[in-house]
Amino acid sequence: MRRLVYASTATGVYGDAGGARVDETWPPRPATARARRRADAEALWRWAGRRGGMTVTILRVPGIYAADRAGGDPRDRVRRASPVLVPADDVFTNHIHADDLARACIAALHRGAPQRIVNVCDDTELKMGEYFDLVADLHGLPRPPRLTRDEARRQLSPMTLSFMGESRRLSNRRMKRELRLRLRHPTLREGLPPPRPAAR
């Protein structure tokens, strides 16, 4: 049987969940044009799979990171002192290491159920500010500055704000149970470890 894996976005398709834990049964509520395009693409691929007798697995993927990934090293953002929200306004964010995502794609090709949606994320449950504070602390960098939501609206681009406007904690139980994926980088501490001390 033919198989296809489509990597969609968990960032936008679910919409804002107010910090709730979200599994694949959560109804999509895309709030941006970009997220609506992804939701439409998911529906089209699942329809194509049913019509053509093809196994299509939809992977909903949040923020991808890796130290050697262009544009995907979170230390770069910390070094630029890009601001995050104050704790009272902050949102939960989700991530996956690039290597674990690649392994999830391979697992989905072998074990994905027909027309099935699977969240692909690590085990971390941190708000965005906490996440980048941890990046800073692990690597001896200054923590990012904090803004209120009102200050962020005045200072940040609409694209940046869109990532700060939705809060959810993705469940990865289906990924572990059905794809049988064991994360090599279950948290940021494994995925972006601090540098080793120089040898004397």
Q: What is the DSSP string of 46-84?
A: HHHHHHHT-EEEEEEE-EEE-TTSTT--HHHHHHTT--E
* Amino acid (1-letter code) at residue 162: S
Whether the predicted pLDDT of 198 surpasses 70: no
User: What is the arithmetic mean of pLDDT over 174-188?
Assistant: 97
Residue 3 backbone zone (phi > 0: left; psi -120 to 50: alpha; other: beta): beta
Which of 18-27, 91-100, 106-115, 190-199 has the weakest average pLDDT?
Answer: 190-199
Percent of the chain exceeding pLDDT 90 equals 85
**In the block, residue with structure tokens 């630029």:** 80
75-78 contacts at long range (C-beta below 8 A, 24 or more positions apart): 75/135, 75/139, 75/141, 75/192, 77/132, 77/135, 77/144, 78/132, 78/135, 78/136, 78/139, 78/141, 78/142, 78/143, 78/144
What pLDDT sits at residue 200?
58
What pLDDT sits at residue 193?
84
* Distance (Å, whole) CA 97 – CA 134: 16
The two tokens of residue 177 are 């149970």
Question: What average pLDDT is seen over the chain?
Answer: 93
**Residue 7: its H or E element:** strand 3-9
Whether the predicted pLDDT of 155 surpasses 80: yes
Which of 11-20, 47-56, 140-149, 164-173 has the weakest average pLDDT?
Answer: 11-20
Is 28 exposed, middle or buried, given 0-12, 13-18 or 19+ CB atoms closer than 10 A? middle
The pTM score is 0.91
Whether the predicted pLDDT of 199 surpasses 80: no
Q: pLDDT by residue (tens digit) across 81-134?
A: 999 999 999 999 999 999 999 999 999 999 999 999 999 999 999 999 999 999
Whether the predicted pLDDT of 147 surpasses 70: yes
What pLDDT sits at residue 21?
95
The answer to whether 67 and 60 are in contact (CB under 8 A) is: no
User: What is the arithmetic mean of pLDDT over 161-171?
Assistant: 92
Whether the predicted pLDDT of 168 surpasses 90: yes
User: What is the arithmetic mean of pLDDT over 175-198?
Assistant: 90
Whether the predicted pLDDT of 1 surpasses 80: no
Q: Domains of the chain, with CATH numbers?
A: 3-181 (3.40.50.720)
Q: Cα 186 from chain centroid?
A: 13
The answer to whether 122 and 187 are in contact (CB under 8 A) is: yes
Question: 19 falls in which pLDDT band (50, 70, 90)?
Answer: very high
What pLDDT sits at residue 163?
85
If we measure between CA atoms, which residue out of 191, 190, 165, 200 comes closest to residue 73?
A: 191
The answer to whether 29 and 14 are in contact (CB under 8 A) is: yes
List, in sequence order, the alpha helices (H) in 80-187. 98-111, 128-138, 149-155, 158-163, 173-178
